[in-house]
Each structure stands twice: as C-alpha cells, then as structure tokens.
Amino acid sequence: MKVHGKEVLIWDGKLTVPVTREYRISLCTTCMGRLHDLKQTLPKNIEDNRDYPNVEFVILDYNSDDGLEDWMRKSMMQHIESGVVAYYRTTEPKYYSMAHSRNVAFLVAGGDIVNNVDADNWTSTSFAGYVNRLANQCPRKAIFAKGKRMLRGRIGFFKDEWEELGGYDERFDGYGHDDKDILYRAWMMGFTLMWYGGDYVARLKTPRAIKAARMRNKNWRQTEETNKLISEENLRRGRYRANDGLRWGAARVVKNFKEELNMGRTNV
C-alpha cells in the first residue's frame, strides 16, 4: 500500500514471536463535558482488562464542568488508590482541543505504551493484553490501531517514539484528522501498523455535533477539512515531526487531587 507515493508497512497478521515482556500500558482518555459517556465506559473497561496486571487508565479532566471531578472522587477512589486509575485535572482550557488534550494525557502517562481510548469507547475484553502481544511482535516503530481506515480515536505508540513524532499536531483546529495525520507521519518515518481490527473497538453512538460542542469552532466538517489540508502540506514537504518550534502539551495539571505538575515539551 502506498501513501503519498511511499510504500508503507502493515503487519501481515501473523503472530510468530513469543511474549517475553510485559509492557506497562497506559490507556488514555481525555474528557471535557463527557461524564455521561465515561460513567458507562470506564468501569467496564477496567473490568475487561483485569487479566492484564500492568495497565493504567489515565483520565485527563480537561476542565470539565459536568461533575467529573466529584464522580471520580466518589466512584473511582478505590482504583486511584490501587494505581489502576490515574486522574489528572487541568482548569486552563476554555475549549476542547483533540490534539492538545491527547498530548497532555500521553505526557502524564506512565506507560511504555500510550494508547488513546475516547470517552465513548469500550476496549472489549483483554485489549491491553493484546496490545502487549502486538508490542512483543513489533517491539520498535509500531503503530497500534484498529486499522488503516476508520481509526475511531484508538491509536497508540511506544511513548518515547510518540515523542519523537512530536506528538499530535497542535496547529490543528478543533475536531478532525488528528489521528490520520499522526498515522501517516509515523508511516513516513518507517513505522509498522500493528492492527487489531474491530473486535477491540465498540463505542457509544455519540453524534458528532455533541463531540464538537466544546470546540472553539463547532463546524466539524470545516475544521476536519482544514486540518487535512495542513497535514497533506506537511507530508508533501517532508515535515513528519509535528510542533517544531512550539511548546506543545503544555499544561498545569493536578494528579489524583493533590500533586501539581507542569507539563510540556519543546521541539528544537
């Protein structure tokens, strides 16, 4: 398969390498005004991944005003205290940014592997364990995703290699094309797509208008098209690392209601 004139690498689906390492896997969810979704998905995702002991669920409260903080205190403290859940809150953003929020969530994550799981997504049973299986099959330059189309917000990387990609492109405006952009940039840098198909992707049917409700520009069709044009121009020019010259993933966050952290990276 070619992307922008270059043959890209896609795993053939054969598991030939034994599992010899148990990677720490961070399943990261950013949330702004989506508590109604998270109440349904997070408890089940925790239960469905109990078979893999080295997983954490990173929840980034992106200045939600719908009671998310109170719900985390009341319903998730057992998991926070056990280390299964890590809860971060920032009160800085006025609008939701897919790129920036995911950058912050991936930066605070403690895993060897960081994988986005949208608030309206169920992982299905044993997802973290299967990602670990794929990571043992391809221990470097791996893209963990549903497939080459319809990514559904479910994309992950080894954390250090994600940082080499410069994270998600914070020049993007609001909704759209952020996942495909980082997929294409990784492909251009020689990464292999390690796909897991639809068995591990199920989601609530959340209308895009609701997803875009907290965006600065609520016209998601417009922002998606604009972001696509930015991405294609960068790929054409060979700019495969995002956010050069920018301070990206910058945020003041509070971890588990008490520990203050300042996050951010600068590409030079």
pLDDT in tens, 91-146: 999 999 999 999 999 999 999 999 999 999 999 999 999 999 999 999 999 999 98
pLDDT at residue number 139: 97
pLDDT at residue number 20: 98
Share of the chain above pLDDT 90, in %: 82
pLDDT at residue number 141: 98
CA atoms within 13 A on the CB side of 175: 17
Q: Give the mean model confidence (pLDDT) for residues 11-40.
A: 97
The answer to whether residue 28 sits within a structural domain is yes
Instruction: Please give the DSSP secondary-structure letter assigned to residue 97.
Output: -
pLDDT at residue number 161: 98
Calculate the alpha carbon distances from 184 to 88, 90, 190, 249 in Å: 29, 30, 10, 20
Identify which has the larger pLDDT, 213 or 103.
103
The answer to whether residue 268 sits within a structural domain is no
The answer to whether residue 233 sits within a structural domain is yes
The answer to whether residue 127 sits within a structural domain is yes
- Asked whether residue 70 carries a pLDDT value surpassing 90, the answer given is yes
Q: Are strands 202-203 and 121-122 parallel, antiparallel or unpaired?
A: antiparallel
CATH number at residue 146: 3.90.550.10
Range of weakest confidence among 32-41, 54-63, 202-211, 242-251: 202-211
The answer to whether residue 267 sits within a structural domain is no
pLDDT at residue number 198: 81
Distance from C-alpha of 114 to C-alpha of 28, rounded to nearest angstrom: 7
DSSP, residue by residue, 10-34? E--S---S-------EEEEEEESS-
- Asked whether residue 183 carries a pLDDT value surpassing 80, the answer given is yes
- Asked whether residue 237 carries a pLDDT value surpassing 90, the answer given is yes
Confidence band for 250, pLDDT divided at 50, 70 and 90: very high
- Asked whether residue 151 carries a pLDDT value surpassing 90, the answer given is no
- Asked whether residue 226 carries a pLDDT value surpassing 90, the answer given is yes
Identify which has the larger pLDDT, 71 or 203.
71
The answer to whether residue 231 sits within a structural domain is yes
Predicted structure pTM score: 0.95
Confidence band for 199, pLDDT divided at 50, 70 and 90: confident
Q: Which residues contact 98 (CB under 8 A, 6 or more apart)?
A: 30, 168, 172, 174, 175, 176, 178
Nearest to 62 by CA among 15, 37, 96: 96
Domain range for 14 is 2-243+253-259
Share of the chain above pLDDT 70, in %: 99
* Total count of domains within the chain: 1
Q: Are 144 and 135 in contact (CB under 8 A)?
A: yes
Distance from C-alpha of 173 to C-alpha of 243, rounded to nearest angstrom: 13
The answer to whether residue 116 sits within a structural domain is yes
pLDDT at residue number 51: 97
pLDDT at residue number 242: 97
Mean pLDDT over the full length of the chain: 94
The answer to whether residue 266 sits within a structural domain is no
